[in-house]
Structure 1
Amino acid sequence: MRRTRTALRGAAAVVTAAGAVSVPVAAAGTAHAAAGRVPYQCTIFSTVFDYDATVTVTAPASAKAGDTVTVKADFSDLPGVAPLPIDSWTTSGTLAVSGAQSGTVPVKAPKRTGPVPAHGAVPIGEVTGQLTLTGTGEVDLAPGGLTIDADAGAQATITCTPKQTPATLATISVGEGGPGASVSPSTVVQGGAVSVTGSGWQPGAAGIALCDANGAACKAGDLTGATASVDAAGKLTASATVAESAAAGARTIVVTQGTVRRAVPLTVTAKTQPPTGQCSGAPADRCGEQKINLTVDGGPLTMSQEPGEVDLTPVTLNGSDQTATGSLKKVQVIDARGGTTGWSLTGTLTDFGSAAGTKIPAGNLTWTPACTAASGSGTVTPGSAGPLDTTTAATLCSAPDGAGQIVGGTFGAGAGVSLKVPAATGAGRYTAVLTLTLS
């Protein structure tokens, strides 16, 4: 008796040169867009696959130094490789910036919901970011890396990297700018004060806000005591305190006056957390604390089996029904998803056939499932003892959903089997195939 098992399937795509770019049609100052084909190499868990993406990058054809502009990239669907349905996913990545300035600009799309069926293509669509132009000249944009964080019962991350340097798909012609601004200090701790100065502004009131690294997602509560004004000579003077609750990391101070908007980079560092109490009142050179962090990444749901075939005990015809017995090769199930979704291992069986063409029905074979859970693993339940069928799957072992609790671990599955051999059975060697499916 042989058996088969499911496997994670990769998807192959035809790879074309990164540089096949359509000719853009854009007037000065209007949106500039071009499409190209970019060959990516992607990874999900331990599976590597190709993604031959069609990417369209959109950006203004012209702007001024100091402007913060919106840039977009639209991606074709990702090949379907996920072995489970995807309920929702979030796409993020970067665009490479070169020419008059260099670096990368983060781009992201809002969370999307499915479901996308198992092995179904995943729509990527449009990702958007904000780029602050720091000087004059030609600024080129090209696709960069891409990350898809998917929820398929457990978290799965798909990372895609260009196989070669992609071609430029958009260029911004940056001219002399208008009002400028700078922030001091450029790095501030949560709860610290900053001052902003600049020139070329219109006399009167102005506004400042603390925003994300792209000059977006500004939160009113992230700055306290903010003041900003411009004198008769066009000189900007502003000050504020970064709230202790403001998110740490790469941020921007955004200055606004009417329709004019300037974003200035600012790094916010986390304020030292208070001690747990173990070192309270102790000299700093005698007692210290270190925070220890752990990141746990989810893995796949997999199965494996002992090699070889199952040989039942031989029988000798004697005019009466007889019984042949044996045991299935042991199966190991590993649930490393780190989620709350259970699993089921089921089987179907073909009829027993011989070289002479005679058969023994699949239903003549019954099994008695046996399941074990390794130390620290969740609960596993054996299926019911009974006959197998050619089409209706019988459960060998299953693990229930966690009902809000994390499930997973390593499990063993097997079964004793018994085959009824009718008295009127042709002599010969009989073979059937058992198919086990993990879902």
Structure 2
Amino acid sequence: MRTGARRRRRWAAIALAVLAAAGGGALGAPAAAEGEPPPPGLIDFPTQCLPPREAGLPPAVGPTTARISVDDPAPRVGDTVTVTYQVLRSPAVNPVGGPLPADTLTPTGRILLAGAQSGEVTVVGARRNDPVEPGAPLPAVVMTGTFTVTASGGITLAPGAYTLHAGHLLDLDTPCTPADPSAVPVGERLTAAELPTANLRSVLLAAAHGKPGAEVEVTAAGFPPGAAVTVAGRAGAAETTDRVSAVADARGTAVVGLPVTDRATTAVVAYEGAAWSARRGSGPAAYTVVAAAGPPPGTVTVTATVEPGALGMTQTGRGITLGAVPYGAGGAASGRIGTVTVTDGRGGPAGWSLTGRLTDFRGPGGIRVPGASLSWTPSCVAAAGSASPCTPGSAGVVGPEGAVLASTPDAPLVGGTFTIDATVTLQLPRYTPPGAYSAVLSLTLS
């Protein structure tokens, strides 16, 4: 009972010390007493703090109790993550010969990244502290910083060295470093995901029909430069015997002549690899093999032709104006892309896909806001009588990798008129410099 009572009194004393340093408990749970494990969410590691020479004090050795947290534990590549490094207990003491006044202590430090992404994050704290008596431990501090996620996978964050700067009478620095940097425990973990990417491969035919054996000019676009491309005929989901090979040029385009000899061919596709796939192949372009057969004796052939049309789009307006965001507050600037009308008059089995790509935003003085900061929520409506349904793309980030705005599936017969729109939201960080920020949104129909 006596041991338990002493332990309870000891925790009470530590809790009061942390509350005073945090200005009313803003830093959360207290540090653990020496010899006891830290509370959940906190880590302890041995530290050596070197007082400034002017203080005439010996090095201070002891545990640092800290907490590391992030504002987004599941970011995507390109996102900016804010890191908070809280030092709740440190062996460092007041280096000033007398009392250290309030709001004269400024902390700086480092966070060490490892795993899928390595490097360091610099964190800085505000000049904010209660008065400290001579020789007393320096109070708890909070430091923040940001980093941009550059790789997908698991990323660990561990505490690094920190410095406590006392700006009273003299500028005095007390640097504190882990006694064994290789043994510092991990303070936080996050898992970064890749940005979604859109398949922009497409084929365009110079003619939509021809006699058996006629050669049709095929333009395959949207492939990686130098990629080996196969252009092939299709009948439904199966390939026919019509096939040629090509290599994409520096623009990712290959232009070839495809002799269509298989009467079963109803469409043409292009793809990379050994076989067509939705990830590395284009959608099909409709093609009809027209076979001329003579009528039997005593009959007259009456022929009417429905000419296949084209696939095209128009857009209302040439610019998108987003709402304003107050300086210092940051947040969402919202708007709409404006109505896009897609008309499909080809009359074949191939559906279509409308994709968008967005450059980075450029502002005053060349300041850049990543294009991945803008997301959209698409909508799509098929006009009455259309042969195809219209599927809006998924809500999410647009960015330079691109995303699907809307699409229609392959079917035995497709076509129609489709009205497409999307609400867009640009997330701007706090204290983004005032001014106009512009980017280019490119829409591609294939």
TM-score, structure 2 normalization: 0.39
Structure ranking higher in helix proportion: 2
Q: Provide TM-score, normalisation by structure 1.
A: 0.40
Higher share in strand: 1
